[in-house]
Amino acid sequence: MTTLPQRHLSRRNILQGTALAAASAVVPRVAAAAVPNRKVKLGIDNFAMRAFGWKAQALIDFSAESKLDSLFITDLDAFDSRETAHLKELRQRAMDKGVQLHLGTWSVCPTSNTFKTNWGNADEHLALGIRMAHDLGSPVLRVVLGNQLDRLSPGGISARIKDMVKVLKRHRSRCKDAGVKVAVENHAGDMRARELVGLVEQAGKDFVGVNMDSGNAVWALEDPLSNLEILGPYALTTSLRDSHIWESENGVTVQWAAMGDGVVDLPAYFNRFMELCPGLPVHIETISGFNREFALFDSAFWKGYESITAAELSPLLKLARKGKPVAPWKKPEGIEGAKAEQAFQKLQVERSLRYCKEVLGLGLPNALGR
């Protein structure tokens, strides 16, 4: 399959190329059945409730009150203390309430535009995260490389992958000793699925895997089901949401959505998820309410994405043809705006959890009878 070179891009050849590729871009889909009992742990990524500013204890309590099985805390600043004694207290609190904990943090790629020194250099940051995950009883530590701008950095995304792999390799024995694996997220358009698999293979899949984010897949111009096919076998944890996708003036526009509200075929997604990711928890990370257009008909857009083929792009455009424009949500001004944002985020989480339980059959009973 020929690529879509930057100098030849136009509305016509993108649409024609993807239409011709559609027949070869077959993504396995299984017909949805009646509400199944999937016996999959269901929880939230705390970023879905970011407007509340809750610390770990409040997040654990909310998860228990919401009858969830798992909680993914993806920011080290959600802890009042990073000391072992405090983390072990939180670990016990979660265990007592029947809530599994997964831990995450941010970029450990020292040359990414997103890297921050809040937690020391890249090695110090990764070592801290591994130790905290061990103290909390989390089997994984989520990290990220960066975002879409890293594709435009010197050497492109392949250079940033090499830089991050070097850091990860230096911590293999630390991960092994702690019983913690590093889950690298496909984050904010930084890596497409095959690029992320390449990172995992280079670093060592015995201690590195993937945090699979279905919303970020769309930002990397991937259909979530296509993304699942590639990343599923490497996944260690998840941050999932639905997406609205529609054709717009300059290409396609995306608005992330509560589960069941968008155009992704979620019953088919989770039928395949059960085959590729047995035992993996489903964490809901709704980041709803804003639109982002991807200017596919502007040749400048493709810098950093030159290798994408028509066959790879076709599934996303097929989704876009199903979608309809959705207005963004606007936060009111002033103090009332903060309350409205909290209410909006809570509603998005509640809608997602209800859909996951009542339509997809996710979640499981535990010893507390929830």
pLDDT in tens, 260-319: 999 999 999 999 999 999 999 999 999 999 999 999 999 999 999 999 999 999 999 999
Mean pLDDT of the chain: 92
Q: Please give the pLDDT value at position 1.
A: 35
The ranges assigned to domains in the chain are: 39-293+326-358
Q: Please give the pLDDT value at position 334.
A: 87
pLDDT in tens, 71-104: 999 999 999 999 999 999 999 999 999 999 999 9
Residues 179-186 have a mean pLDDT of 99
- Can you tell me the distance from the alpha carbon of 274 to that of 304, in angstroms, rounded to the nearest whole number? 33
Q: Please give the pLDDT value at position 34.
A: 73
Cα 151 to Cα 195, 276, 295, 307, 314: the distances in Å are 11, 29, 16, 12, 21
Q: With 70 as the cut, is the pLDDT of residue 199 above it?
A: yes
Q: With 50 as the cut, is the pLDDT of residue 357 above it?
A: yes
- Read off the pLDDT band of 36 (50, 70, 90): confident
Q: Please give the pLDDT value at position 335.
A: 83
Q: With 90 as the cut, is the pLDDT of residue 368 above it?
A: no
Q: With 60 as the cut, is the pLDDT of residue 146 above it?
A: yes
| 58-72, 127-141, 327-341: least confidently modelled range | 327-341
- Read off the pLDDT band of 29 (50, 70, 90): very low
Q: Please give the pLDDT value at position 134.
A: 99
Residues 113-138 have a mean pLDDT of 98
pLDDT in tens, 156-179: 999 999 999 999 999 999 999 999
Residues 132-138 have a mean pLDDT of 99
Residues 190-217 have a mean pLDDT of 98
Q: What is the dihedral of CA 132, 134, 139, 142, to 10 degrees?
A: 20
Q: With 50 as the cut, is the pLDDT of residue 226 above it?
A: yes
- Can you tell me the distance from the alpha carbon of 333 to that of 322, in angstroms, rounded to the nearest whole number? 34
Q: Please give the pLDDT value at position 16.
A: 54
- Read off the pLDDT band of 32 (50, 70, 90): very low
Q: Please give the pLDDT value at position 263.
A: 98
- Read off the pLDDT band of 114 (50, 70, 90): very high
238 contacts 2 by C-beta, under 8 angstroms: no
* Dihedral pair phi/psi, residue 339, rounded to 5°: -65, -40
- Can you tell me the distance from the alpha carbon of 36 to that of 358, in angstroms, rounded to the nearest whole number? 9
Token pair for 158: 């392949």
User: What CATH architecture is 39-293+326-358?
Assistant: Alpha-Beta Barrel (3.20)
Amino acid occupying residue 107: S
Whose tokens are 């990397």? That residue is 220
